[in-house]
Chain A
């Protein structure tokens, strides 16, 4: 988690050496939302005629405005790059009109593959003379975050509307902010940065901020990122490893409980509930992996917990192999709820992928009289970022079923590739 090197003290912002901040232009630095249609449909002539409609974002609650961020960070020595896939004339006119300084600019006129491909990010880092891993990409769209992830650098997502875009769900930024001055805090290392669960596991003070939870909309929240075992980030990710361990290990489940219980002391208002329950075990399964979690949260929040509100009526072994879009249809009527009387309920799950199971549980509880059901998952499944096997080109994954402990092996093992690596310790 310590991705910012020991900061150098400056007047306002402390800057890590050899780093650059790369900004997306449209709807990150400037409010060009009124031109989105022309940009999307590539009506370049109309676009050129409407440039004077573009506005700077104005956030009265923020001490810095979005269009001023490049000048602010440049003033303390960061290099500044701007990437857009709009034409160069468009970007240059807007940057000039709003007096936005920059050291490098990559546009759609330069012929690089569009984000989330990392080419444009690598190219701008190259132009700035900075290793791309030392850059920070700031953008409003999942493609900006995807480009950062594919390039191996930090992605900061901005939601000036204070509403997380739906497109973030599978590519949630490393850090999510809702006001421009939060970027200064983040660069300063002076405020909270990461999602709640990740901050706690890293030993940080879990201070509450807009990006504390992954906000999936419709009352569904995640406390951190979940990277599947075939994701190159999984082996080194403490939260993802903990989620896997807690499925069978009561000690890990206890840790999860302690972790989520700390949410009770935050300003998260959805924690103010009458009842805590969880997604039920499969039929015939005796171990309730959420029992300790519910108990810990209930104690911390002085709330009632019940593990028998929901029942799973039948199993669907093939469920996790279904595409995310098909999953909601497969869970219909799989769960049943006991009668409820207008309670505000917190429903706990370990991982949200499509959200289908948890949403079906909620539907059943609402049908049985629940007043409100908020869904909280420990992790939200992220789009897989594979790492290629150096021997056969397959992808590397963490194998947790080895007789000598965990190791990293190749997906083509069954086709004869014996490449392995030691698993990093969690």
Chain B
């Protein structure tokens, strides 16, 4: 049995194109001795630029907000599902050609956010649960919205913990 677990879940704003702010669903899975795995989900009612188009900025925002100590992480993009009723969720591991996130003292220096993650490549993931080694909640097509995710976060068993994370990050209520 794997010890990896969902440690953080939140709605995270990010800077889209033309100053239009987007919102994505972020889940962080962690296990001792492994790099954290971050799943960023594109919400169906995302008011801003799709995460795929600004994945560099999304990655930099995750780094700055969740791993300000400079820790590296695996980034996985969760796509919208194709049509209602289809039960498969689609994920891709995002690899970056360039990634300069650690400052001289081994600490994330926060500089150059725009250029920190460059040249993304996507590798489709057939089975996210096999890759992570734990269950991953499925969001049904048509219901993967910021309102539904916010409701889920408020009702989650560890809601106080998640709520405190939200308070620190200024996510939507």
Contact = CB atoms under 8 A, between A and B. Distances in A.
Interface stretch (B48-56, B104-112, B148-156): B48-56
Contacts of A118: 82
Given A119-B80, A126-B83, A113 B51 contact: no
Interface in B109-123: 119-120, 122
B15 interface: no
Contact of A119 (B50, B53, B82, B119): B82
B83 A122 contact: yes
A44 B51 CA distance: 14
Interface in B68-82: 79-82
Contacts of A120: 82
B89 to A, nearest CB: 10
A190 interface: no
B90 A119 contact: yes
A126 B84 CA distance: 9
B36 interface: no
Given A41-B119, A119-B90, A112 B53 contact: no
B56 A110 contact: no
B160 interface: no
A103 to B, nearest CB: 17
Contacts of B83: 122-123, 126
Contact of A108 (B53, B86, B92, B124): B53
B86 A122 contact: yes
Interface size class of B (residues with CB under 8 A): 20 to 34
Nearest to B51: A111
Interface string A259-271: 0000000000000
A42 interface: yes
Of A44, A111, A123, most B-chain CB atoms within 10 Å: A111
A112 B79 contact: yes
A400 interface: no
Contact of B80 (A42, A110, A114): A110
Contact of A122 (B56, B82, B119, B124): B82
Given A44-B17, A109-B49, A114 B82 contact: no
Given A119-B90, A126-B82, A111 B119 contact: no
B140 to A, nearest CB: 15
A274 interface: no
A111 B79 contact: yes
A109 B92 CA distance: 17
Counting chain A residues whose Cβ lies within 8 A of the other chain, the interface size class is 10 to 19
A87 interface: yes
B42 interface: yes
Nearest to B48: A109
A117 interface: yes
Contact of B53 (A44, A117, A123): A44
B46 interface: yes
Interface in A74-126: 85, 87, 108-114, 117-120, 122-123, 126
Interface string A10-45: 000000000000000000000000000000011010
A122 B82 CA distance: 6
Interface in B31-79: 42, 44, 46, 49-53, 56, 79
B58 to A, nearest CB: 12
Contact of B124 (A41, A87, A113): A113
A113 B92 CA distance: 8
A333 B92 CA distance: 42
A114 B55 CA distance: 13
Contacts of A85: 52
B114 to A, nearest CB: 11
Contact of B52 (A41, A114, A126): A114
A195 to B, nearest CB: 28
B90 A111 contact: no
Contacts of B124: 113, 117
Contacts of A112: 79-80, 82, 90
Interface of A: 41-42, 44, 85, 87, 108-114, 117-120, 122-123, 126
Sort A-B residue pairs by CB-CB distance and give the 3 closest, nearest first: A111-B42, A122-B82, A119-B82
21 contacts: A42-B56, A42-B120, A44-B17, A44-B53, A87-B49, A110-B50, A111-B44, A111-B51, A111-B52, A111-B80, A112-B80, A112-B82, A113-B79, A113-B92, A113-B124, A114-B52, A117-B90, A117-B124, A119-B80, A119-B90, A123-B82
